[in-house]
Amino acid sequence: MTYEEFKDQIKSAMKAHDKIRLSILRQVHGELKNIEINERRDISEADVTSMIKRMIKQTQETLEGSIKAGNNQERTDTLTKQLEILNGLLPQQVSGQELIDLIDSTIKSVGATTKRDMGKVMGALQAATDGNFDKPAAAQEVGKRLS
């Protein structure tokens, strides 16, 4: 998602009066604005994606802490909704049969034969999908295929 598309998401949330969506989008936008100001550069798609992933991690940690602390249900529901919104902003992860096919073709292209080559395969998968794949499942499948 480009920075302009992200700003359009904020505008549409404002028009729809979706307070929860607008709140989390503004948090991400504030972090992106900090990058723009502090580093004096334009925001790239990679910046938007990495910031969304960072916010997902932070929100997930906050949600887990809220559940453990037994905070009120309204806060937990809000955090859950924010997580759903953030996950919806990311492109769909490669998984299932598509991931298995990609692993097979990557193993062939890299020429991997032993478990020592696992890092090469995972690195090639990372490059091919921009890190947008189910890493634990991929590692398990690659481990099965390499002896």
| pLDDT digits 0-9 by tens, 58-80 | 999 999 998 888 878 888 999 99
Q: Locate all alpha helices (DSSP H) within the chain, ordered by sequence.
A: 3-16, 19-39, 45-69, 73-89, 96-110, 118-129, 135-145
The predicted-structure confidence for 80-129, as pLDDT tens digits, reads as follows 999 999 989 988 888 888 888 999 999 999 998 888 999 999 999 988 88
**Residue 26 contacts residue 10 (beta carbons within 8 Å):** yes
List, in order of start, the domains of the chain with CATH numbers.
3-89 (1.10.1510.10), 96-145 (1.10.10.410)
The predicted-structure confidence for 33-47, as pLDDT tens digits, reads as follows 999 999 999 999 888
What is the Cα–Cα distance from 22 to 15, expressed in whole angstroms? 10
Q: What is this structure's pTM?
A: 0.70
